[in-house]
Amino acid sequence: MRKIFTLLFFTTLFFNCSSDDSNDVLTDGDGITDENNALLTISRGSGFIPFFGAVDIRDFTVEAIVTGDDGTILARSFLEFDSEIKLEAEYDKNKTYDLHFVERFFDSNKTTPEFSYENVLTYNVITILGATNRLYAYDGISYDDSVTITRPPEKTGYVKLQFNNIPYNLGLFGYSTNGSSFRGDGSLSSTKDFDINVEPKSTNTVYSFIGSEDENGGDVRFIKEDLTDGESLVFDFDEMSITTPIDIDFSVMNTQNMFVSSKNFYEIFAFDTPSDKKTLLSSSLFKRSNLFSTERTFFPNDAFQKYSIYSSIFYDEFTVLTKRVYDNINEIPKKYTHTGLNAKIINNSFPDIKAEAVGEYDYFIVKSSYNDGENFSSDTKRFAWTIYGDANSEISIDQKNLFSNLFQEKDNFEVPMSDLKNNLELSLISSDVIDNYNDYISDIINRNISIDNGYQNFERWSSRSINSINIDAINNSQ
């Protein structure tokens, strides 16, 4: 069990007035009284783990850096626990400024033999473009070692379902519970039994269906029950609830140039609340033989409060992830639109980037990375840089003046620029989860914030890095 908590310790970055020669510096009691001065406040919590799943992190430090829009450093300082600092820099209200967090630490993993590594020096840089006059609450993940860790149950429970008087010799059948599911088709007899694994000491929502599909739609019935370990129920087919068959066109664009792999798929879920483990109604891989096919799904009538469709498509040069949420089955579309987002990278000289975006979206992400080993286990140094920006049809990033000043001299840390260019990925994101860019940034820099997105629509268009394209090309040729 992980206990999350946040303790905020305030760090203040002050900017001098540039409108006169007095070069006055704001003090704690001054407040913001001059329109030519801005106060940027950063708080740091108690967490020092940079990401979930970290096994052994040591010597963790984080440095805050403020730059001009060309990457020139104006102010910088390490953020310590329970500390308060002031940085001074000239400020021009007609210019934009960027905020950077440079995380440095040693990372080890000795618990997973196939992915083991030790004392890998890691730099992780988070950049926020267009930093504004507000509080930025930075925090890592916090663990409370005094709390007992919840372990998986030693015993697996089960429930038994029996369906009688099935009128079909061939048909569909399956079930879904606790995030796991089974779906089959083939021969049927008048009776069908399911032994379903469930969590032994809790109530489990179990959804199961059985019936036949034909050209006219078919007849598939379902049950939805809250069951506990050891229960056994019998159902008569004629008394079960009916489903509504809906044919959905999942045709994708640019099929001649699309990589076909197990990564291309769609899934349809049903749920009552965002925290529920979703009930899988249907799923399918996209193959070249069915890229233009219409997929039929049997939706249970009046059984769930929400339905969602999730799809993942890998094209030659970009990927598309979408999730659409619907309040009832009448809203389910006959043709599923994967996304209208797109972008073209005009210049890739990471960390200097220019791109043109198409479509309405909320924010963009530019990222790249480098590791010095031939594989994950042989790394001794790793570097990752993620840049976040508010939506704009023309994306322009200029951070070349910052790059060489990110690393501590004692580390002798050199990153080949060609690797960063080849690993570049640009993403455009449209999401109903977060209301605005500032809230999104708050979620990014405070790892202890958790946002429930079960009810929300989401679209993500991402360019594919040169390295990932080359790897897929090799895999597809084998």
Q: What is the pLDDT along the chain (478 residues), one digit of tens a residue?
A: 333 222 222 333 333 333 333 333 333 333 333 344 445 778 888 887 887 666 688 899 999 998 887 888 988 989 887 666 666 666 677 788 899 999 999 988 877 777 788 899 999 999 999 987 778 888 888 765 433 344 455 568 899 999 999 999 999 999 999 878 899 999 999 999 999 999 888 889 999 999 998 877 789 999 999 999 999 999 999 999 999 999 998 877 655 555 555 567 889 999 887 666 789 998 887 665 555 578 889 999 889 999 999 998 887 788 899 999 999 999 999 998 888 899 999 999 999 999 999 999 999 999 999 999 888 788 899 999 999 999 999 999 998 889 989 999 999 998 988 899 999 999 999 998 878 888 889 889 988 776 666 678 999 999 988 766 554 543 454 4
Contact 194, 160 (CB under 8 A): yes
CA distance 313 to 265: 7
What's the pLDDT score for residue 411? 93
What's the pLDDT score for residue 13? 34
What's the pLDDT score for residue 131? 87
* Domains of the chain: total: 3
Pick the last residue of a domain from 210, 239, 268.
239
Cα separations in angstroms, 62 against 47, 77, 376, 406, 451: 11, 9, 24, 11, 24
Strand stretches in 15-55, DSSP E = 16-17, 39-44
Residue 434 lies in a domain: yes
Residue 474 lies in a domain: no
Q: What is the DSSP string of 374-392?
A: SSGGG-SEEEEEEEEEE--
What's the pLDDT score for residue 113? 74
* Residues 250, 235 within the same domain: no
Contact 179, 198 (CB under 8 A): no
* Residues 124, 202 within the same domain: no
* Residues 418, 433 within the same domain: yes
What's the pLDDT score for residue 451? 66
Q: Is 14 helix (H, G, I), strand (E, B) or coil?
A: strand
* Residues 364, 411 within the same domain: yes
Q: Is 60 helix (H, G, I), strand (E, B) or coil?
A: strand
Pick the last residue of a domain from 239, 255, 276.
239
* Residues 22, 127 within the same domain: yes
Residue 303 lies in a domain: yes
Residue 475 lies in a domain: no
* Residues 395, 415 within the same domain: yes
Amino acid letter, residue 211: G
Of the candidates 86, 92, 134, 2, which has an alpha carbon nearest to the alpha carbon of residue 441?
134
* Residues 136, 66 within the same domain: yes
Q: Is 222 helix (H, G, I), strand (E, B) or coil?
A: strand
Strand stretches in 69-165, DSSP E = 73-78, 86-87, 90-91, 97-109, 117-128, 135-138, 157-164
Spatial CB neighbours of 373, under 8 Å, sequence gap ≥ 6? 379, 380
* Residues 16, 130 within the same domain: yes
* Residues 130, 193 within the same domain: no
CATH number at residue 197: 2.60.40
Residue 210 lies in a domain: yes
Residue 1 lies in a domain: no
What is the pairing mode between strands 157-164 and 192-198? antiparallel
What's the pLDDT score for residue 18? 34
Half-sphere exposure of 454 (CA within 13 A, CB side): 16
Residue 469 lies in a domain: no
What is the pairing mode between strands 318-326 and 458-463? antiparallel
Q: Is 420 helix (H, G, I), strand (E, B) or coil?
A: helix
* Residues 310, 407 within the same domain: no
Q: Is the dihedral of CA 110, 153, 270, 251 positive or negative?
A: positive
* Residues 131, 185 within the same domain: no
Cα separations in angstroms, 331 against 308, 423, 463: 11, 39, 31
CA distance 193 to 189: 10
Pick the last residue of a domain from 186, 219, 239.
239
Residue 108 lies in a domain: yes
* Residues 182, 276 within the same domain: no
Q: Which domain holds residue 31?
A: 9-145+342-450
